[in-house]
Each structure stands twice: as structure tokens, then as C-alpha cells.
Structure 1
Amino acid sequence: MADTPETLIMTLEGGDVTIRLRPDLAPKHVERIATLADRGFYDGVVFHRVIDGFMAQGGDPTGTGTGGSDEPDLPAEFSREPHVRGVCSMARTMNPNSANSQFFICFDDATFLDGQYTVWGEVIEGMEQIDALPKGEPPRAPGKIVKMRTA
């Protein structure tokens, strides 16, 4: 995958978040996120579940936590990579092979998720923008992805 992008720029209302992609851990998930981002899929999508001290979840075009893209679900690409502050991982249902477009970014260590969710990236700049997202399940006025593209 020589043409796999290395980073993703997620522009939030407060500024940019730079995410280093990890195709070494989850090549199919990285490809999915990058493809959807470059297609404009995530533009305008909210963070519908933001739990202080845990994580911010987004990537559902319906904003409800039940939606996804029109692409097929992905098979799990679990790894030993720890879920720590800044890690980007895929959300899924109880079915381990149900990740589609929803993802979450850890605010803090959440190592109890290790080996059960697919890690596909890590925030390398702009984590303060994630920290500033409105909290709630769902937040009263959810934070929104203005634009997300590979870089």
C-alpha cells in the first residue's frame, strides 16, 4: 500500500486535529477512513457520544449512533496496540466484524478496550480540540467535523 496516506486532518469548529494513520495495525480500516474522508463523508458529521475522561465518538451521518456508510462492514483488525489518550479506534456493535464508519478518540487510558476494537490512528496534534468537544450522550449542542481529508 505505497499510496496509503500517512495523516488525516480533521477540522473541528475550534481548529485542526492531525491524526497519524496506522496501516501497519489496520490496513483495511485505514483505507476505509481515508476513502470516506476524501469523499467528504465526514464533513458536517457530529460527535454524538462524548464521555468526559473516556472518549468522543462520531462518524455516524445520522448523528444517532446507529448509522454508517453504504460500504460493507469491515472484518476486525484487532491488535495489541493500547487504547490510551489520543488513540483513534473503530466503534462497532456487539459483532466484532461490524465496524463501518463510526470511530472514537480516547480522552484517557481505556486499556480495557484493548484487543476488542480496531485501532487505526493516533492524534499527534490538536488533542485540545478533542478535549473541548461538548460532552453528553448526545451532547445538547454536539461538536461537528467541519471537514476531514487525508494529507
Structure 2
Amino acid sequence: MKKLFVLLCAVLALSLLLTACGDKPEDAAPSESDVPAASIPTDPEEIKAHNEEIDEASINLIQFDTPAAGTKVATIKTSAGDIKIALYDKEAPKAVENWIALAEKGYYNGLKFYEVIPTVRISTGDPENSGNGGESSFDSGKFADEYSLNLWHFNGAVAMNNNGVSDANDSKFYIIQNNGISEELGQEMIDGGFPTKVIDKYLEVGGVPNYDFKDTVFGQVIEGMDVVEQIASAARDEQNKPSEDITIDSITIETL
């Protein structure tokens, strides 16, 4: 695990650059939980200490399990079609609480997808439609959240978009759209000490490990990845804004 903090520093720097430039990453680089949630590491020493403590045997990749009874599920109705996501309130309690509170009061209704990057992500949740706006449902404003070693930025993951600032989560969120990573990146992850089961899952389903240990994953698409792919492939301008508006019509929450 000792090499992992070096790799993560590199991929996090790359992801920040890519977010600013709006380009595709080069091969996109990283239940109820038995794993305690932890604060997001913010510097190399914290990342190193964190990675050296990872117990691979305790990681449960719940994103691809059939949602259990009691799971909260959201249906996001968009102008391009419906996307259904499972929410992990035990893994990312603050993110889910904030997101549901905003959804239930209609905050997201009518908002646009302000950024679409094929094989990376689609982003929404900003009334300013710029990626710089947004608000939280918490009285104290923007919030920090725990992240879980059971949740990763696999294809279809739903995560907070805080522009790289761990305590600046608000209404903005994105959905990962990337159905494959290269064997070369997989080898880099092996060399960097990523847990084997996580690497194997990335190689199987794809995703964007650049964002791991940076943004909080709080959900997973369980229906409608074709809609996510359609949105991601929409015509866009130089700032990655869709040439024609793609909007959220409504969000409904149910409990299985």
C-alpha cells in the first residue's frame, strides 16, 4: 500500500486538471457497511496513512448487489429519459440526507446538466448552470461527508461534485459514464497497491478511479444507464455544456 498515496496524488492532480479543461481522462485512472466511514484524506500523509490501513477482506462492493428491502431508490426523470438510482444512506449519510431533502422540495426540478463529458461523467445540480453554484439543505451550508471503502467511482456511480474541496459538498452531483479502463491503468493500480477486488471490478465494469478518495459516492444507477450514455454523448460546446438543454423534470424517492 505504500506506493498508493503517490499514485493517488498523481491521479487527483490529473482529475482536477481534466475538470478544468473538460477533456477525457487518459484511460480514466482508482450494505450496510462493516467498514467504518472515514473523513476524505486531503494531503499525501493522510492518504498514505489511510491506504496502509485498508483491509481488503472487509471491503464489500455493494454497488452491484440487488438493492435490499429498506433501500431508498430515486427516479430522476429527465428530458432524455428516466434514471433510477439506489441511495446508500448508511455509507454516505450526510450526502444522502442532503440530496433527498433537496430532491423532495423540488430543488432539482428544471435544472440542466451543465457538463457532459463522454466516458467520464454527466454533471447537474447547479442553478447557475456553471458548476460554481449550488446550495446545501443543511443550515450550516456546505458540508463534509464521510466516504466508504464499499463505494467507488465505478461506471454508474453517483457522487457529490465539490470541485476537489472535501468540505464543500452542496447540491451538485454527477454520474460516472465510462464502461472500461485499460489494462495499463489496471497494472498501475496494482503497482500502486489498490485492493485487488477493486481493481478487478474496475476492469470488469469500468469507471473513473481518478475521483476515488476525492468525491463522495452516495448512489448507483440501477436502471437507465442507456439514458446516462445518451446524455454523455450529447453535442456540446467547448465548455462541455450540451448544445441543447437537457433538464431534470422531477425526482421521486421510494423505499423498497
Structure 2 residues not aligned, in runs of 5+: 1-69, 179-206
> 1:22-61 alignment to 2 at 5 Å?
22-61=88-127
Match of 2:161 among 91, 94, 114: 91
Q: How far apart are the structure 1 equivalents of 2:159 and 2:235?
A: 19
TM-score for the superposition, normalised by structure 1: 0.91
Structure 1 residues not aligned, in runs of 5+: none
Higher strand share: 1
**Is contact 2:114-2:241 (8 Å) kept?**
yes
Report the CA distance between 1:13 and its aligned residue.
Answer: 1.3
Q: How far apart are the structure 1 equivalents of 2:159 and 2:136?
A: 20
Q: How far apart are the structure 1 equivalents of 2:136 and 2:124?
A: 16
**Is contact 1:51-1:135 (8 Å) kept?**
no
Higher helix share: 2
> 1:56-135 alignment to 2 at 5 Å?
56-69=122-135, 71=137, 72-80=141-149, 81-108=151-178, 109-133=207-231, 134-135=234-235
> Runs in 1 of length 4+ with deviation above 4 angstroms?
none
Match of 1:140 among 243, 247, 255: 243
SS at match of 1:140: coil
SS at match of 1:132: helix
Cα distance change on mapping 1:126 and 1:94 into 2, 3 Å:
closer
Report the CA distance between 1:135 and its aligned residue.
Answer: 4.7
Q: How far apart are the structure 2 equivalents of 1:93 and 1:141?
A: 24
Q: How far apart are the structure 1 equivalents of 2:127 and 2:253?
A: 19
Cα offsets for 1:47-75 (capped at 9, x unmatched): 10110000001000111111112541111
Q: How far apart are the structure 2 equivalents of 1:56 and 1:6?
A: 22
Report the structure number with the largest CA radius of gyration: 2
Q: How far apart are the structure 2 equivalents of 1:56 and 1:142?
A: 13
Cα distance change on mapping 1:122 and 1:70 into 2, 3 Å:
closer
SS at match of 1:31: helix
Cα offsets for 1:17-68 (capped at 9, x unmatched): 1110011210111011111001000001011011000000100011111111
SS at match of 2:146: coil
* Higher RCO (Cα < 8 Å, 6 or more apart): 1
Question: How many residues are paired up?
Answer: 148
TM-score for the superposition, normalised by structure 2: 0.55
Percent identity between matched residues is 28
